[in-house]
Structure 1
Amino acid sequence: MKATGLIVEYNPFHNGHLYHLTESLKQSQADVLIVVMSGHFTQRGEPTIVNKWERAKMALLNGADLVVELPYVYSCQSADLFAKGAVSILTHLRVNELIFGSESGNINELLTLDQIMQEDQFQKKLKQQLKSGLSLPKASAATLESFNLNHELATSPNNTLGLYYLKAIRELNSPITAGTLTRIHSDYRDLAPTHHAISSATSIRNLREKGQAIDAFVPKNVAHLLKEHYELTATYHTWEAYFPFLKQKILTLTPKGLLGIHDVEEGLENRLYAAMIKSSSFEEFMNHVKTKRYTRTRIQRICAHILTQTEKTWIRALQIENGAPYVRILGSTPTGKRYLKQIKKEVTVPIYSKFELKAHEILKHEQAVTAAYSAILPEPLCTQLNQEEYMNFPLHIER
C-alpha cells in the first residue's frame, strides 16, 4: 500500500484542510492517508480548541485513515523541532510522500531554495543577523535580501514550514519524497473570513468565540462536533481561560523556578514575573512581556511549558533533535488498520495503541500536558479527560 503523510494541527478542521486532504490523495494516488497531528498545544503555543481525541475524530470522518500524535515535546516547539518530530514519525511509519501546503505551490522552487540556504556563506550571514538581535524569520529575510533573493519565498509562513520539512527529511536521511499544494483563499493570520467557504483556523476560532456562525467554513460533521463540545463544556480553550492557572504558576515558581523552564533565557524569568504581578488578563500580560526579540509565539510556548512543567534540563537530556522515539496511534479506519498490520514488522520503534506506564518518558509527559489542558473544564469532564489519557484505545471510524 502506498502511504501519503500530512503534518497538521486541525485547530479546528476546516474546509481548507479538507481541500488539502482530498487534493493530496489525488496528487499522490495513495492507498492510505496518514496524519501526524499535534496534541493539546500547537506549534504557536496555543491550547487547541477541542481536545486531541475530538480533533482525531474530525480527521478520520473527513478522509484520514490513520491519525498519530505529535508529542508535546515536538508540537509546542520551534518550527525546526516541530518538523523534525513529525517527519521522523512519518519515516517510522514507512510513508512514501509528505505533502504540505505552501504559498509557492512549487516543490522544485522550494527544493532549490533549500539548497541555497545550506551553503556556508548563507549560514554565516544568517548567524550574523541573528547575533544582531533579529528573530529567525527577520534574520532569514535580511539574509535572503543580501543574496538578492526574494525574501517572501522563504518567509511566507507555509513556505517557511515547508522548508523545515525539507530540512528534516535531509537531516534524518529519510526516504520520504516531498510534494506541495498551493494554499488557497486564506492566510493562517487572517482574523476574519476573506472567502465565502474557506477561512483560516484563527478566524474560525474568533467567530466561534463571538457566538457567530462558522458552518460555512467547516464540514457539517465538524460543525456538529464543535457545537456538541460547547454544549457539554460551556468552555472555550483560550489563553484567557487559562490565565488564572498561569498566574498562579508564575508567581509561585518565582524567577528562580522560571529560569528552569524550557526556552526561558537568563533575564527573561524576571520579565515574566514582573509582568505577571501587574497583569489582570492574558492580553495585558502579553503586552508587558513580548518584544521584537521575544515574539508572541515564543512567549505563548513558554507559557505552555510553565503550565506543563516542561523543564530545560529534561528537554536537553532527551536529545529530541534525533527524532521521535515512538509512534502513538490516536485513531484509524479499517484501511489504516490494514496498513499498520502490513508494516508492523518493519517499524523499528514502539507503536503504542494505549498509554503504558513503562512507555518512553516523552509519552509519560503527556499526562502533565493533559492535566494542564483539562484544568479549565468543569467536573466531571476534567477528570474524564485525564482518565482518557491513560485508558483510551485508538478511535475506530467506519466510513
Structure 2
Amino acid sequence: MKATGLIVEYNPFHNGHLYHLTKSIEQSNADVLIVVMSGHFTQRGEPTILNKWERTKMALANGADLVIELPYAYSCQHADLFAKGAVSILTHLHVNELIFGSESGNIDELIQLESITSGIDFQKAVRKWVQTGLSLPKANAKALEEFNFTKELGTSPNNTLGLYYIRAVNELQSPIKVGTLTRIHSDYRDQAPTHDKISSATSIRNLREQRADFSTFVPKNVQDILDEHYRQTNTYHTWETYFPFLKQKILTLTPKHLVEIHDVEEGIENRLYSAMMKSSSFEEFMDAVKTKRYTRTRIQRICANILTHTTKEWIHDLQLATGAPYVRLLGATPTGKQYLKSIKKDVNVPIYSKFDSKGHPMLKHEQSVTAAYSSILPEPHCTNLNIAEFSNFPLHFER
C-alpha cells in the first residue's frame, strides 16, 4: 500500500484543507492517507478551537485514514522542531510521500531555496542583519534579497514551513519524497474571508466567535461538530478565555520560577510578571509584552508552556532533535488499520493505541496539556476530557 502523509492542525478543518487532502491523494496516487495532527495547542502557541478527539473526527470524516498525534513537545515549538517531530513520525510509519501546501507550488524551487538558506553563508548574512537590530524575520528577508531571491518566496508562511519540512527530511535522512500543492484563495493570516468557499482557519474562528455564518467555508460535518461543542459547553477556546488561568499562574509562579519555563530567556520573566500585574485582558497583556525580539507567536508559546508547566529542563532531557520516540494513534478507518497492521513489525518505536502511564515522558506530559486545555470547560466536560486522555481508544470511522 502506498502511503501519503500530511502535517496538519485542522483548527478547524475547512474547505481549503479538504482541497489539500483530496488533491494530495490524487497527486500521489495514495492507497492510504496519514495525517500527523497537533494536539491541544498549535505551532503558533494557540489553544485549538476544538479538542484533539473532535478534530480527529473531522479528519476521518473527510478523507484521512490514520490520525496520529504530534506531541505537545513538538507541536508548540519553533518551526524547526515542529517539522522534525512530524516528519520523524511519518518516517516511522514508512510514508512514501509528504505533501504540503505552499504559496510557491513549485517543489524544485523550494528544494533549491532550502539548500541555500541552510548554508553557512546565508546564516552569516542573517546574523549580520540581526546585529543591526532587525527582528529575525526581517533579517531573513534582507538575507534573501542578498542572495537574489524574492522576499516573498522565502518569507511567505507556507513556503517557510515547507522549507523546514524539506530540511527535516534531509537532516533525519528520511527516504520520504517531498511534494507541494499551491495554496489557493486565502492566506492563513486573513482575518476575514476573501473568497466565497475557501477561507483561512483564522477568519473562520473569528466568524464563529462573532456568531456569524461560516457554513460556506467548512464541510457540513465540521459545522455540526462545532455547533454541538458550543451548544454543550457555551465556550470558545481562545487565549482570552484562558486569561484568568494564565494570570493566576504567572502571578503565583513569580519571576524566580518563570525563568524555569521553556523558552523564557533574557530576563523576559520580569517583563511577563510586571505586564500581567497591570493587564486586565490577554490582548492588553500581549501589547505590553511583545517586542521586535519577542513576537506574538513566541509569547503565545511561552504562555502555553506556563499553563502546561513545560520546563526547560524537561525539554532539554527529551533530545527533540533526534525525532519523536513513539507514535500515538488517535483515530483510524479500516484502510488505516489494515495499513498499520501491514507495517507494524517494521516500526522501530512504540505505537500507542491508548495512553500508557508507564510510557515515554513525552506521552505522560499530555495529561498536563489536557488539564490546562480543559480548565475553561464547564463540568462535566472538563472532567470528561481529562478522563478521555488516559481512557480513550483510537476513534474508529467507517467510510
TM-score class, shorter-chain normalisation, is: over 0.9
Give the distance between the partners of 1:227 and 1:360, measured in 2 at CA. Answer: 35
Indicate the SS of the match to 2:67: strand
What residue number does 1:320 align with? 320
CA contact 2:332–2:394 (8 Å) conserved in 1: yes
Per-residue deviation, residues 175-195 of structure 1 (Å, max 9, x unmatched): 000000000000000000000
Indicate the SS of the match to 2:53: helix
Q: Which amino acid aligns with 2:228?
A: E
What residue number does 1:6 align with? 6
What residue number does 1:189 align with? 189
Indicate the SS of the match to 1:33: strand
Indicate the SS of the match to 1:273: helix
Residue 135 of structure 1: how far off its partner (Å): 3.2
CA 1:369–1:179 in structure 2 vs 1: closer, same or farther (change >3 Å)?
Answer: same
Residue 118 of structure 1: how far off its partner (Å): 2.7
Per-residue deviation, residues 36-70 of structure 1 (Å, max 9, x unmatched): 00000000000000000000000000000000000
Residue 134 of structure 1: how far off its partner (Å): 3.3
Give the distance between the partners of 2:133 and 2:55, measured in 1 at CA. Answer: 38
- In the alignment, does 2:144 pair up with 1:144? yes
What residue number does 1:112 align with? 112
Give the distance between the partners of 2:130 and 2:330, measured in 1 at CA. Answer: 38
CA contact 2:20–2:101 (8 Å) conserved in 1: yes
Q: Which amino acid aligns with 2:26?
A: K
Per-residue deviation, residues 338-385 of structure 1 (Å, max 9, x unmatched): 000000000000000000011000000000000000000001110000
CA contact 1:103–1:159 (8 Å) conserved in 2: yes
What residue number does 2:274 align with? 274
Give the distance between the partners of 1:31 and 1:135, measured in 2 at CA. Answer: 44
Give the distance between the partners of 2:134 and 2:262, measured in 1 at CA. Answer: 21
Give the distance between the partners of 1:112 and 1:246, measured in 2 at CA. Answer: 43
Residue 313 of structure 1: how far off its partner (Å): 1.1
Give the distance between the partners of 1:134 and 1:90, measured in 2 at CA. Answer: 36
What residue number does 1:170 align with? 170
- In the alignment, does 2:200 pair up with 1:200? yes
Residue 97 of structure 1: how far off its partner (Å): 0.2
CA contact 2:101–2:183 (8 Å) conserved in 1: yes
What residue number does 1:31 align with? 31
Q: Which amino acid aligns with 2:129?
A: Q
Q: Which amino acid aligns with 1:157?
A: P
Residue 146 of structure 1: how far off its partner (Å): 1.6
Indicate the SS of the match to 1:64: coil
Q: CA RMSD in A?
A: 0.8
Residue 133 of structure 1: how far off its partner (Å): 4.2
User: Tell me, which stretches of 5 or more residues in structure 1 are unaligned?
Assistant: none
What residue number does 1:295 align with? 295
**TM-score, structure 1 length as denominator?**
0.99
Indicate the SS of the match to 1:335: helix
User: Tell me, which stretches of 5 or more residues in structure 2 are unaligned?
Assistant: none
What is the aligned-residue identity percentage? 75
What residue number does 1:95 align with? 95
What residue number does 2:333 align with? 333
Give the distance between the partners of 2:138 and 2:365, measured in 1 at CA. Answer: 33
**TM-score, structure 2 length as denominator?**
0.99
Matches within 5 A, 1:1-399: 1-399=1-399
Residue 128 of structure 1: how far off its partner (Å): 2.5
Residue 127 of structure 1: how far off its partner (Å): 2.5
CA contact 1:49–1:238 (8 Å) conserved in 2: yes
CA contact 2:70–2:86 (8 Å) conserved in 1: yes
Residue 139 of structure 1: how far off its partner (Å): 1.9
CA contact 1:259–1:266 (8 Å) conserved in 2: no
Q: Which amino acid aligns with 2:267?
A: G
CA 1:365–1:131 in structure 2 vs 1: closer, same or farther (change >3 Å)?
Answer: farther
Give the distance between the partners of 1:366 and 1:74, measured in 2 at CA. Answer: 12
Q: Which amino acid aligns with 2:58?
A: M
CA contact 1:261–1:306 (8 Å) conserved in 2: yes
Indicate the SS of the match to 1:67: strand
CA contact 1:189–1:202 (8 Å) conserved in 2: yes
Residue 145 of structure 1: how far off its partner (Å): 1.1
Residue 116 of structure 1: how far off its partner (Å): 1.4
What count of residue pairs does the alignment treat as equivalent? 399
CA contact 1:4–1:30 (8 Å) conserved in 2: yes
Give the distance between the partners of 1:164 and 1:362, measured in 2 at CA. Answer: 22
Give the distance between the partners of 2:118 and 2:300, measured in 1 at CA. Answer: 30
Per-residue deviation, residues 220-252 of structure 1 (Å, max 9, x unmatched): 000011001100110000001000000000000
CA contact 1:275–1:285 (8 Å) conserved in 2: yes
